[in-house]
Chain A
């Protein structure tokens, strides 16, 4: 994973017309973006399409990027917008998010990896409130700061931290309940 300074330089080169820079940006961020889109869409096939649309959108709007922006949050924010616009167009919000059996395709946050199996943890994450789960994963899984999460979600940094913190508490509680039932 490249650091953001290297990504900014690549974005500037890409804006200047470098195909190599675009390929490097894709190579550096596509995997993480795909996992984020899989988490949002809960459908692997759909996420692949969304990833391509995100990069196509990036290409068509590459002039909208300013080199003062951190690349990774900007691109994740763009991916989120692509997902939401598509979801709005498809009017499938309820169908996608009410399916509790769907598990987000994310790795397990290290803070809870001893509290249950990967499957149990993923299922518990899927059971969290949508806003809490997203803030939790953006912070613990993709490493965004609360200021960056605030800019992506349109909330204050304090609210972003509170959502992630409540999500983690809920997750711990859900996992302890699961273990109690299992024992």
Chain B
């Protein structure tokens, strides 16, 4: 151990800044716990979709695996993406880029796979007397609203201490997670399972919330770094 008198001295300005605020702080939980901590919010979002939109009437016909199991899988997938984001936001705990890219590709494949599975099991299309565009607009817009609210909440909860090298990636992962959670609820509310509707109006908003998440967290990082310097 180096004797104290050989240590580099803390510069006066830094020492003054540190001394001025030494209130005790509680150590942050590890990334896995922070991600799991979002689970109640994710479940509340799914329940919120049921509350405001209602549930499709054929969930009993769909069976528990396709109805609840697939949506629960999506919620777990969203939590996994949030976990990756919190790792990315923790210095020296980043996951390999290939792993992050692989997780995003896997998430996209799971969403497409669940949509295909649902359509295969319950091929319900929009009746001819209704406008497909209006239905897509309604589902897409409301999914996007819900997703954007959720990603902003997640960013405010988990992005308060931004230490990421790539804040846009952190935000994109938060956004993808939020969009997938909303999709998990929406697919159990909207009875239409045609692929154009499911992928366009239900899964499309996931892309939008991903972009919104990237923008929101980038902005938060810019504000945080601007404030520091």
Contact = CB atoms under 8 A, between A and B. Distances in A.
Interface of A: 1-2, 6, 12, 15-19, 22-24, 26-28, 30-31, 52-53, 55-57, 59-70, 73-78, 80-81, 84-86, 89, 148, 150-156, 159
A156 B98 CA distance: 8
B65 interface: no
Given A28-B2, A56-B14, A74-B91, A63 B161 contact: yes
A73 B10 CA distance: 20
> Most A CB atoms within 10 A — which of B91, B93, B221?
B91
Contact of A17 (B1, B14, B22, B164): B22
Contacts, number: 132
B223 interface: no
A24 B1 CA distance: 11
B27 interface: yes
B91 A81 contact: yes
A78 B4 CA distance: 25
B161 A151 contact: no
Contact of A12 (B7, B27, B163): B27
A5 B25 CA distance: 20
Interface of B: 1-2, 4, 7-11, 13-15, 17-19, 21-30, 88, 90-100, 161, 163-165, 221, 225, 228-229
14 contacts: A15-B27, A22-B10, A30-B8, A52-B11, A59-B21, A62-B25, A66-B27, A66-B29, A70-B92, A73-B92, A75-B91, A81-B91, A152-B91, A154-B97
A100 B80 CA distance: 42
A69 B93 CA distance: 9
Given A31-B8, A154-B97, A154-B165, A69 B92 contact: yes
B225 A27 contact: no
Contacts of B2: 1, 27-28
A19 B19 contact: yes
Contacts of A18: 22
A49 to B, nearest CB: 9
Contacts of A2: 1
Given A26-B8, A78-B163, A152 B92 contact: yes
A69 B17 CA distance: 25
Contacts of B10: 22-23, 26-27, 30, 55
A159 B94 CA distance: 14
Given A24-B7, A56-B14, A89-B225, A64 B96 contact: no
A55 B163 contact: no
A60 B17 CA distance: 10
Given A73-B92, A78-B91, A27 B228 contact: no
A68 B228 contact: no
Contact of A63 (B26, B96, B221, B228): B26
A151 B225 CA distance: 22
Contacts of A17: 22-24
A59 B25 CA distance: 11
A76 B229 contact: no
